[in-house]
Amino acid sequence: MSGSRKASIVSGYDLVQSLGGRRAATRPAAEAPPPPRPAPAGSVALPTKRDIACPDCGWESHVMGRQSYAVCPKCRKKIDIVDYTVDIDFSGTIATAGAVRLAPGGIVHSGEIRAAIVDLASRVEGGRIVAWHRLDLRAGAVCQPDHIEFRDLRLDAGARLAFTCALACRRLDVAGDLEGEFVVSGEVFLRAGGALRGSLRCAHLTVEDGASLAARLQVGGGDPVVPGP
């Protein structure tokens, strides 16, 4: 360090002015500062809200944002909120408040699958599938009524299901082929191309043009059945 260094006072204003003037003089017109990035459309400040239910006690609650697990406020057990996909042979247990997709090519031999939404497109030979919110049946799904429990049922076009016993549910949406005896406390939608046979007792029925309906019906003023697993 030099011993003859002379102390000097640097004015911040002068420094900024000097830098600004130098930059304005040296920056060419082609290197203009890039425009500010526009804010992404649709962004919200609040995280998304997701309704969940405890697979053990059935207590319904909600979580905010992306969480992989939560704690049930009633029974204090850990709730898994992960989505699963099963496309191979399965004989285990899955308990989640998320969704489980049983893809074509997989076979459920035994065990239990409990989820909020179960998307079934595979073969179920045993075990138990409990969809406490909704069960979606896709084309190619093969299952017996003894192996499934649900609150809402939705049949995709191409799916076929026949129940040998009376079934109660909250909501029914049929775009495929469904046969059996149903008591629905809520709405029944029969989409174009869908078919419903057997008997139906529901509070509300909507049939689209092109649907097939060969059943005994009682629509309006049904008993308040509380379905669910």
Partner 1 sequence: MDNVSAQTVIAGDAEITGTIKSAGTVRIDGKLDGELHCEKDALVGKSAVVKGNLNVSSAVVEGTINGNIVARDRIELKASARLTGDLKAKRLVVEDGVAFVGRSEVNASGVAPAAPQHSAPPTPVPPGIDANRPGVAFPKR
- Per CB under 8 A, residues contacting partner 1 are 68, 82-86, 88-90, 92, 94, 104-105, 107, 123, 140, 142, 144-145, 160-164, 179-180, 187, 190, 195, 197-198, 204-221
* Contact (Cβ atoms closer than 8 angstroms) between residue 134 and residue 120: no
Helix (H/G/I), strand (E/B), else coil: 156: coil
**Which of residues 21 and 47 has its CB atom nearest to partner 1 in the complex?**
47
The secondary structure of residue 175, as a DSSP letter, is S
Radius of gyration (C-alpha) of the chain in whole angstroms: 30
- Residue 114: closest CA among 101, 102, 97: 97
Taking the least distance from each CB to partner 1, the nearer of 89 and 223 is 89
Indicate the residue among 56 and 179 with the shorter CB distance to partner 1.
179
Helix, strand, or coil here: 215? strand
Question: Contact, 176 vs 156, CB < 8 A?
Answer: yes
Residues 138, 119: Cα–Cα separation, whole Å: 7
Closer Cβ to partner 1, 53 or 108, answer by number: 108
In the complex with partner 1, the residue whose CB is nearer, 39 or 182, is: 182
Smallest separation (angstroms) from partner 1 to the CB of 185: 15
Question: What span, in angstroms and rounded, lies between the C-alpha atoms of 118 and 71?
Answer: 22
Give me 225's structure tokens: 């059945």
User: Tokens representing 55?
Assistant: 């697979």
